[in-house]
Amino acid sequence: MMTATVKLVSRVRRLGCVLAFCFLALFLWGLPGARALDNGLAMTPTMGWLHWERFMCNVNCQEEPDSCVSEKLFLQIAEIMASDGWKDVGYEYLCIDDCWMAPERDSEGRLQADPKRFPGGIRRLANYVHSKGLKLGIYADVGNKTCAGFPGSFGYYDIDAKTFADWGVDLLKFDGCYCDSIKHLADGYKHMSLALNRTGRSIVYSCEWPLYMWPIFKPNYTEIREYCNHWRNFADVYDSWQSIRSILDWTTSNQESIVPVAGPGGWNDPDMLVIGNFGLSRDQQITQMALWAIMAAPLLMSNDLRHICLEAKALLQDKDVIAINQDPLGKQGYRLRKEDNFEVWERPLSNLAWAVAMVNLQEIGGPRSYTISVTSLGQGLACNPDCLITQLLPVKRKLGFYEWTSSLKTQVNPTGTVLLRLERAS
Ligand code: GLA
């Protein structure tokens, strides 16, 4: 009798826990509340390469011919993306950022590439990129100037959309500098979205609309999702752990408003992957890769693929982690809990699977162990009644079979992450 009562109480408690998780799920895990931009693109997060973080606005091809923003750089990166396995694992869009333009528009009001640095023009570059089975991205700005001071698109949205389509461009990153009012910002982002659609060419539309709204207003993500395929929310990524942490912190502080809105066709963009550069340790690179997968983030690398170490390459090309990022269910993950300088994040995947990441944020000491009861994962469902757990990062290994009542113990390096995939066993 006594044992039966104890069992009943513990069942009720468990049910209570499950209900609590379900409640959390309701607002973090609902269907995307809004229609996505109806262009059929970005059904999974965009993957590719973007020049900004690594090459910035280097226009000095005289002194630095190998690292200036020029046709040569993009031809070389295209060649490597196609031949070194990048395209094969999904990195498809080769994207030009700011500083590709000549300082003036042409006599017909069209943007033109700097003739010295892009002697063949963008159309020829696009042809080459397409011949490699890749797609080409370009950059422009909703305001009067780009952030680096090149011609802005304000007053020229239709001409610019048509120019990009004529050139064979496949993605537009549309920045928000030098826009004189919130109304012009919103109208401009919408206008360009419609103008791109009217060209009839499939062009992924990458926005920074919410980033430029936040200081003044809370963005209306339902509306943004109707016009953009992805949108930057927060400051530019730098090649440092501090930058990665600040992006993660911003994301967790705002997860209630940004997670539910992400889904096929429209994604939150926490900015480029800086893996393979100078500022992140091995563990920090693992954290960026794992968390960008959990966040269903566009995977746009900004690094020098001509000189990248094998470890960084293997991490960026890790098919299991990419599969989490690209999971067809298309739901963004969220932080489940934070305690004792550990964060646990989780993301629902197709076929009732879950991805779970444990991040050790402590920057002193060595690896620390963290134990979690599997009942608390996946809203009480991931291991109910049991599951198979595979560790994907830092190295792949099968952890085996877990029952609903089991605990999972992990060891996580400082600023590192253990990424797991949980699958139904029965
Ligand atoms: C802004 C954007 C960056 C980059 C630069 C280019 O800062 O947020 O991603 O495009 O402009 O000038």
Q: Is 269 touching ligand 1 by the criterion CB < 6 Å?
A: no
**CA gap 40, 179 in Å, rounded:** 29
End of a domain among 308, 326, 344? 326
Check if 175 is active-site. Answer: yes
For residue 24, being part of any structural domain is answered with no
Residue having the nearest C-alpha atom to atom 11 of ligand 1: 147
**CA gap 172, 286 in Å, rounded:** 29
Q: Same structural domain for residues 353 and 282?
A: no
For residue 112, being part of any structural domain is answered with yes
pLDDT tens digits, one per residue of 66-98: 999 999 999 999 999 999 999 999 999 999 999
pLDDT tens digits, one per residue of 30-73: 555 568 898 999 999 999 999 999 999 999 999 999 999 999 99
The number of helices, as runs of H, and strands, as runs of E, in the chain is 14, 16
The parent domain of residue 353 ranges over 334-424
Amino acid letter at 157?
Answer: Y
Q: Same structural domain for residues 89 and 163?
A: yes
pLDDT tens digits, one per residue of 317-357: 999 999 999 999 999 999 999 999 999 999 999 999 999 99
Structure tokens at 129: 């990129």
Yes or no: say if 243 and 272 are a contact pair by the CB < 8 Å rule: no
Q: Best substitution site from 51, 97, 139, 243 to test ligand 1's pocket, by max atoms within 8 Å of Cβ?
A: 97
End of a domain among 326, 350, 373? 326
SS3 state at 143: coil
CATH number of the domain encompassing residue 397: 2.60.40.1180
- Which atom of ligand 1 sits closest to the CA of residue 237? 9
Q: Same structural domain for residues 408 and 355?
A: yes
Residue having the nearest C-alpha atom to atom 8 of ligand 1: 236
**CA gap 311, 162 in Å, rounded:** 42
Q: Is 236 touching ligand 1 by the criterion CB < 6 Å?
A: yes
For residue 57, being part of any structural domain is answered with yes
CATH number of the domain encompassing residue 160: 3.20.20.70
End of a domain among 309, 326, 343? 326
Give the number of domains in the chain: 2
pLDDT tens digits, one per residue of 206-265: 999 999 999 889 999 999 999 999 999 999 999 999 999 999 999 999 999 999 999 999
Distance 269 CA to ligand 1 centre (A): 13
**CA gap 244, 280 in Å, rounded:** 9
Distance 57 CA to ligand 1 centre (A): 10
For residue 13, being part of any structural domain is answered with no
Yes or no: say if 122 and 165 are a contact pair by the CB < 8 Å rule: no
DSSP strands (E only) in 96-222: 135-141, 171-175, 204-207
Full-model pTM: 0.93
Q: Is 52 touching ligand 1 by the criterion CB < 6 Å?
A: yes
For residue 17, being part of any structural domain is answered with no
- Which atom of ligand 1 sits closest to the CA of residue 232? 8
Q: Same structural domain for residues 166 and 229?
A: yes
Residue 420 CA neighbour count, 13 Å, CB half: 30
Q: Of 97, 98, 141, 175, which is the active-site residue? A: 175
Q: Same structural domain for residues 247 and 275?
A: yes
For residue 19, being part of any structural domain is answered with no
Q: Same structural domain for residues 298 and 375?
A: no
Yes or no: say if 379 and 22 are a contact pair by the CB < 8 Å rule: yes
Q: Same structural domain for residues 269 and 396?
A: no
**CA gap 137, 178 in Å, rounded:** 22
Q: Same structural domain for residues 306 and 369?
A: no
Yes or no: say if 229 and 252 are a contact pair by the CB < 8 Å rule: no
Yes or no: say if 74 and 122 are a contact pair by the CB < 8 Å rule: no
Q: Best substitution site from 98, 99, 209, 301 to test ligand 1's pocket, by max atoms within 8 Å of Cβ?
A: 98
Which residue is associated with the tokens 């031809």? 75
SS3 state at 101: strand
Q: Is 174 touching ligand 1 by the criterion CB < 6 Å?
A: no
Q: Same structural domain for residues 139 and 168?
A: yes
